[in-house]
Structure 1
Amino acid sequence: MNVISLKLVCFSPTGTTKAIIQGVARGINHSTVELIDITKPDARKQQLQTSENELLLVAVPVYMGRVPALLSEWLHAIKARNTPAVCIVVYGNRVYDDALLELKDILLERGCKPIACAAFVGEHSFSSSKTPIAEGRPDVSDLNHAELFGRKINEKLLSISSIDYISNISVPGNYPYGGITDLWSVDFIAISTKCTQCGICAEGCPVGAIDSENCNLIDTKKCITCCACIKNCPLNARTIKTGPVKDAAMRLNKLYKERKEPVFFFS
């Protein structure tokens, strides 16, 4: 089966999910690749349309065992026509629960035919030097796995003559989906005097929760606790303050030290 191009869709506030999907694309090694990064709010205003001649890869981080609720409207607006698709979730070494099943179901509903699914590990949003959680991941081994997954996807495409020969993929998960999709509305970011109001945090916030004129002002109702502002600060002026997020980071650090590896599923 021939595809004329790859469309890569990712939501990646801290860059881990983007690194994975780009690794998979390297493994597929197609000459025509379009990256659709829906991390910024403006990018989510554009509807995605795909055809049966394209291969769609969608990669999202796992939030509370689910596809981020923030992305629900955009994902459910995709218009696909028998488009072969790859579903990828990236989680912080805890569990991915029902997220991969949920993403697969969404793409099926929108007119895609999933041919492969995968769960990868990326550094947890709450990870820090004091409470590392999957620190530094995806690492070289993860990216090698991503390229291997891409090569296997390519082999799968070459083994079938048309979209009609794609069978259903069984992936872990339960329906109805479990987990909590409500955002935490919590004041958890400490800002030190090292902050120079450079605006990098506001520019990189995926939900526009940081005031671009005064980076000390954070709309906690918009915040999705992705910690992109903390990880992207060039002066390390932002940290997680004492409270529920730091408590969660300490629990995750203690309970999920054992390294988990990527897993693949094919039709």
Structure 2
Amino acid sequence: MKTESVNLVYFSPTGTTKAVISAIARGINPERMTITDITKPDERKKPLELKNDHLLIIGVPVYMGRVPALLSEWLGIIKGNNTPVVCVVVYGNRVYEDALLELSDILTERGFITVAGAAFIGEHSFSTKSTPIAKDRPDKDDISKAEFFGKKIQEKLKAISSPEKNSNLIIPGTHPYRGDSKLWITDFIEVSDACIQCGVCADVCPCGAVSPDKSSSVDIEKCITCCACIKKCPEHARSIKPGMVSDASNRLFTLYSQRKEPEYFL
């Protein structure tokens, strides 16, 4: 089948999912490509409808083994017309459980047909200097594998006449989904005197939880514990304070230090 355009969509507060999706696109090397970054709140207000001669490549991080609940509303208004889709999830070296299956199920209900899926590893949001979890991933090897995956997708699309010919694809996971898509409501961010009120933290927050006028003010009801404001602070003025997130970071560092590798489903 021939695709008229490739549409990249990603939710990527700390940049790991964006890096993976971009590498997959390089492997496909499409003639035409559009990019939608749904990390930005305004982009999640815009509906997306694609024809059957387009290809959607969508990537989301795994939250508690599930698709982030924050994306439910946007995912509920997009629409495909028997449009082929590549589903990608990125997780912090723990487990991705049913997130990939859930993403594929959601898009199937919205009129898309899953032609490929993958689970990649990215540095965990809770990773710190003292408790590194999948540090610096996706790394060079991950990116190379993502590009290879993109090439295999291109080969597959050329070999089939329509996405409906892909009915034998099996995405791992179980019904009902395991895990809980609800996020923690917790005050976990420490702001030091190094803060210069530059506003970067408010700009990078995907849910408007950080006050643009007072960076130490965080709406914990909105916060999704993505830690983008911590990781992207140019003054390194933000950190994880002692508490449930810090405890989780220690557990993940202790239990999930063994390197995991990307998985593809074609």
For structure 1, list consecutive stretches of 5 or more residues without a partner in the other structure. none
Deviation of the 1:161 alpha carbon: 1.6
Structure 2 counterpart of 1:106: 106
Distance 1:234 1:250 in 2: 25
Structure 1 counterpart of 2:33: 33
SS at match of 1:77: coil
Structure 2 counterpart of 1:157: 157
Structure 2 counterpart of 1:121: 121
1:57-95: per-residue Cα shift (whole Å, max 9, x none)?
Answer: 110000000000000111121111010110000000000
Task: Give the 4+ runs in structure 1 shifted more than 6 A.
Answer: none
1:117-161: per-residue Cα shift (whole Å, max 9, x none)?
Answer: 000000000001110000000000000000000000000001012
Write the letter of the residue equivalent to 2:213: E
SS at match of 1:156: helix
SS at match of 2:265: strand
For structure 2, list consecutive stretches of 5 or more residues without a partner in the other structure. none
Deviation of the 1:7 alpha carbon: 0.3
Write the letter of the residue equivalent to 1:183: L
Distance 2:164 2:133 in 1: 42
Note if contact 1:50-1:83 (Cα within 8 Å) is conserved in structure 2: yes
Deviation of the 1:220 alpha carbon: 0.5
TM-score by length of 1: 0.98
Distance 1:136 1:196 in 2: 27
Write the letter of the residue equivalent to 1:147: E
SS at match of 2:196: coil
Note if contact 1:114-1:168 (Cα within 8 Å) is conserved in structure 2: no
- 1:8-23 superposed matches below 5 A: 8-23=8-23
TM-score by length of 2: 0.99
Note if contact 2:101-2:171 (Cα within 8 Å) is conserved in structure 1: yes
Deviation of the 1:238 alpha carbon: 0.2
Is 2:234 the partner of 1:227?
A: no
SS at match of 1:210: coil
Deviation of the 1:12 alpha carbon: 0.2
Write the letter of the residue equivalent to 1:4: E
SS at match of 2:117: strand
User: Superposition RMSD on alpha carbons, in Å?
Assistant: 0.7
Write the letter of the residue equivalent to 1:232: K
1:88-117: per-residue Cα shift (whole Å, max 9, x none)?
Answer: 000000000010000010111110111000
Between 1:98-107 and 1:180-189, the stretch displaced more is 180-189
Write the letter of the residue equivalent to 1:254: T
